[in-house]
Amino acid sequence: MPKLPQKKYYRQRAHSNPIADHNFDYPVCPADMDWSPYFPKYFPGDITKKVEFADIGCGYGGLLVTLAQVFPETLMLGMEIRVKVSDFVVDRIQGLRDEKKEVPGGYQNVACIRTNAMKYLPNFFEKGQGHVYTVTDVKDLHDWMVHHFTQHPLFKRQTEEDLADDPVVQHLFESSEEGQKVTRNSGDKFLAVFRRVADPRNS
């Protein structure tokens, strides 16, 4: 029976400098991305299928694994810059797929890529896709993200009323390993969600 990877064999420092030189493979543009190695169940069959969720800095993949079960037909991608951490997530997903448990979707809808999202996010995703969910235990970082997204004309912050029926929000605080650690230490968590609005120049 296949075994899931153990984190103790994939330990790495908590942060990696995104400005430093790294060697990454990435597509020239989203249309050139070959998703078949990551989602073999869906590609090259369904050419209309797109990755809809991206977990930037996905860590050890806790949120991805949770959301993969909640949205079993939605393709989602973890993006992680640290070598050993991304290796763990890749091995974890493969292990979950091999277990063949009776889980909706069988984790065929989730994958992880080692990359620098700060530099290469536009190479993977088309303009105008989706919502942005931010959650952190660092208040200064939360305030910085809220300030810049609020100032940007193409994003609108969602109110508590807007988020009341959002099935993603309830999983953001406890699904990731970092979120669970903050809870154990009785720390605070700060959430903000922004919706991409239409570009008025295209209307």
The sheet with strand 155-157 has its strands ordered as 131-136, 190-196, 155-157
Determine if the peptide bond prior to 37 is cis (ω within 30°). no
Q: pLDDT (tens digit, 9 = 90+) per residue, 67-116?
A: 999 999 999 999 999 989 999 999 999 999 998 777 888 999 999 999 99
pLDDT at 144 over 90: yes
Distance of CA 108 to the CA centre of its chain: 15
pLDDT at 1 over 60: no
Q: Which residues fall within 8 angstroms of residue 196, CB to CB, at 6 or more apart?
A: 128, 129, 130, 131, 132, 154, 155
Q: Which residues fall within 8 angstroms of residue 200, CB to CB, at 6 or more apart?
A: 153
CB 125 within 8 A of CB 54: yes
Based on the number of CB atoms within 10 Å of its own CB, is 176 exposed (0-12), middle (13-18) or buried (19 or more)? Answer: buried
Phi then psi for 84, rounded to 5 degrees? Answer: -65, -35
In this predicted structure, what is the pLDDT of residue 198? 83
pLDDT at 136 over 60: yes
Q: pLDDT (tens digit, 9 = 90+) per residue, 163-184?
A: 999 999 989 887 777 667 777 7
In this predicted structure, what is the pLDDT of residue 184? 76
Over residues 151-169, mean pLDDT: 93
Alpha helices by DSSP H, the chain: 62-70, 83-99, 117-124, 139-151, 160-163, 169-172, 177-184
Q: Which residues fall within 8 angstroms of residue 98, CB to CB, at 6 or more apart?
A: 2
Range scoring the smallest mean pLDDT among 15-19, 27-31, 60-64, 142-146: 15-19
pLDDT-derived band at 18, boundaries 50, 70, 90: low
Q: What is the b/e burial string over 113-131, where b = at least 16 CB atoms within 10 angstroms of the residue's CB? A: bbbbbeebeebbbeeeeee
In this predicted structure, what is the pLDDT of residue 12? 64
Measure the N-to-C terminal CA separation of the chain; round to a whole number of Å: 56
pLDDT at 127 over 70: yes
pLDDT at 147 over 90: yes
What is residue 183's three-state secondary structure?
Answer: helix
Mean per-residue pLDDT of the chain: 87
Range scoring the smallest mean pLDDT among 12-26, 48-62, 70-84: 12-26
Distance of CA 115 to the CA centre of its chain: 12
More confident residue, 179 or 159: 159
